[in-house]
């Protein structure tokens, strides 16, 4: 059994944030004023990422996702990925897609197949508005490149009322000829992101719109134990779509995920403000296995203890966390 907690869950999936830097400025992910960046000496160096990852693998982790910030802005990304590819793990990445063309050969060489690409609008102007950058064409070209090269692609779309909720059906229709899995993410509260419950579109609302638009052609897909999304497809379409309903219908019972921030702190839940400092221990030449086991064991049953809608909406609780860009989404 991989890394058990006291609620009988096993944890075989580690998400490693490689940097707090990003080449986009998505409003929902980071505060408008930005975040103070840590000096690079405080961040995990390539050999430290490898040493910590190796420990998790020895404890049962068999899937690693690289994230950030934007993982592809790290200058030594190739070294990190090649190191990790020597471990018996499935590799995956979450990226905004901007630098993907420079890395396709490396992804192939290292066997990295699973790519989550974030794109919140299919309209160039809106994309620029939310990301505060003009990279829409680049991202779309890189998405095509990944599809041509048969990568396994999920598209992450954070929905916000009055901004991109009018694109839900467009995104579903995007799966008509493209073998991608679109995942609508319920907008979540993090430090400094000005979350309000009424800005969020819920699973129920999204499903209602899809039922109206597609009627009998809407098919619910079978979900697997550790799935974060409730998945659907439209009959005859090449791809599929789903909703990550962390806010209105959390899926914590099947959670197998752990996180490591770019400064080497382990989080047992996206929403947890408790962190285990693995990097300092590693630098002091202390063993980290037990620290990992203790941190996993103590995981709350639901969303770091915010187990009701009221608690989740309480700013005193949900803002007592890093911003998403500093956690690693
Ligand atoms: N730069 C990479 C990317 O764009 O995918 C990886 C990091 S990003 C923080 C990972 C994911 O978190 C993205 O899909 C992003 O849309 C999502 N995300 C960030 N803030 C969020 C929020 N407040 N609610 C829901 N999803 C969020």
Q: What is the DSSP letter of 10?
A: B
**Residue 33 confidence (pLDDT):** 77
CA–CA gap between residue 146 and residue 96 (Å, rounded): 13
pTM of the model: 0.96
Å from CA of 69 to ligand 1 middle: 9
329 Cα to the center of ligand 1, angstroms:
5
- The residue to mutate among 185, 187, 191, having the most atoms of ligand 1 within 8 angstroms of its beta carbon, is 185
- Going from the Cα of 160 to the center of ligand 1, the distance in angstroms, rounded, reads 13
**Quick one: CA dihedral 325, 103, 175, 141, positive or negative?**
positive
Q: Report whether residue 17 contacts ligand 1, using a CB cutoff of 6 Å.
A: no
What DSSP string describes 264-323? SEEESSTT----EEHHHHHHTT---HHHHHHHHHT--SSGGG--SHHHHH-HHHHTSS--
93 DSSP assignment? E
The residue assigned the tokens 């702190």 is 265
Q: Is the alpha carbon torsion for 109, 110, 112, 118 positive or negative?
A: negative
Nearest residue to 209 (alpha-carbon basis) of 246, 159, 249: 159
**Residues pairing with 154 in the sheet:** 116, 181
Residue 241 φ then ψ, to 5°: -150, 165
Calculate the alpha carbon distances from 299 to 81, 125, 281, 313, 317 in Å.
28, 41, 20, 20, 16
Closest Cα to atom 3 of ligand 1? 95
Residue 188 Cβ < 6 Å to ligand 1: yes
Nearest CA to ligand 1 atom 2: 95
Distance (angstroms) between ligand 1 centre and the Cα of 1 equals 30
Its sign, for the CA torsion 199, 200, 205, 207, is positive
Sign of the CA dihedral 259, 260, 262, 265?
Answer: positive
Tokens 């471990």 locate to 87
CA angle 26, 171, 200 (to 5 degrees): 50
Helix count and strand count (H, E) for the chain: 12, 12
Residue nearest atom 20 in ligand 1 by C-alpha distance: 29
pLDDT along the chain (329 residues), means of 10: 94 97 92 85 97 98 97 98 98 98 98 98 97 96 98 98 97 98 95 89 98 98 91 98 95 95 97 95 98 97 92 88 85
Q: Where are the alpha helices (DSSP H) in 91-225?
A: 104-110, 124-131, 136-148, 168-174, 203-214
pLDDT for 14 equals 98
Residue from 30, 229, 329 whose mutation best tests the ligand 1 pocket (most atoms within 8 A of CB): 329
What local confidence, expressed as pLDDT, does residue 328 receive? Answer: 81
Instruction: Count CB atoms within 10 A of the CB of residue 117.
Output: 21
- Ligand 1 pocket check for 185: Cβ under 6 Å: yes
Whether 12 lines ligand 1, by a CB cut-off of 6 Å, is: no
Alpha-carbon gap, residue 248 to 126, rounded angstroms: 26
| Residues counted in the chain | 329
Per-residue pLDDT at 320: 85
Rounded-to-integer distance, Cα 312 and Cα 319, Å: 10
Q: Which of 21, 29, 157 to mutate to test the pocket of ligand 1 (most atoms within 8 A of CB)?
A: 29
The preferred substitution site among 324, 326, 327, 328 for testing ligand 1, maximizing ligand atoms within 8 Å of CB, is: 324
Interval between CA 48 and ligand 1 midpoint (Å): 24
């Amino acid at each position: 059994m991989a890394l058990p907690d006291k609620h009988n869950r096993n944890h075989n999936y580690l998400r490693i944030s490689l940097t707090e830097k990003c080449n986009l400025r998505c409003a929902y992910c980071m505060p408008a004023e930005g975040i103070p960046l840590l000096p690079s000496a405080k961040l995990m160096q390539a050999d430290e990422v490898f040493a910590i990852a190796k420990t998790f693998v020895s404890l049962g982790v068999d899937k690693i996702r690289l994230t950030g910030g934007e993982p592809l802005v790290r200058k030594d990304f190739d070294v990190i990925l090649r190191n990790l590819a020597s471990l018996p793990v499935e590799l995956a990445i979450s990226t905004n897609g901007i630098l993907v063309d420079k890395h396709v050969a490396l992804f192939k060489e290292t066997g990295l197949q699973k790519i989550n690409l974030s794109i919140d609008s299919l309209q160039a102007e809106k994309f620029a508005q939310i990301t505060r950058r003009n990279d829409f064409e680049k991202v779309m070209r890189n998405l095509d490149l990944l599809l041509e090269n048969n990568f396994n692609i999920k598209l992450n779309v954070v929905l916000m009322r009055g901004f991109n909720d009018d694109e839900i059906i467009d995104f579903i229709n995007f799966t008509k000829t493209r073998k991608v899995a679109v995942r609508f993410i319920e907008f979540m509260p993090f430090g400094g992101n000005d979350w309000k419950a009424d800005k969020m579109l819920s699973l129920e609302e999204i499903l209602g719109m899809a039922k109206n638009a597609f009627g009998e052609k809407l098919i619910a897909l079978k979900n697997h134990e550790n799935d974060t999304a409730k998945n659907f497809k439209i009959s005859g379409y090449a791809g599929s779509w789903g909703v990550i309903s962390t806010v209105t219908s959390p899926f914590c019972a099947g959670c197998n995920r752990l996180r490591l921030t770019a400064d080497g702190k382990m989080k047992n839940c996206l929403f947890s403000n408790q962190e285990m400092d693995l990097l300092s221990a590693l630098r002091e030449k202390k063993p980290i296995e037990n620290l990992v086991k203790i941190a996993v064991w103590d995981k709350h049953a639901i969303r770091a203890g915010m187990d009701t809608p009221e608690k989740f909406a309480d700013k005193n609780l949900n803002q007592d966390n890093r911003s998403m860009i500093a956690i690693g989404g």
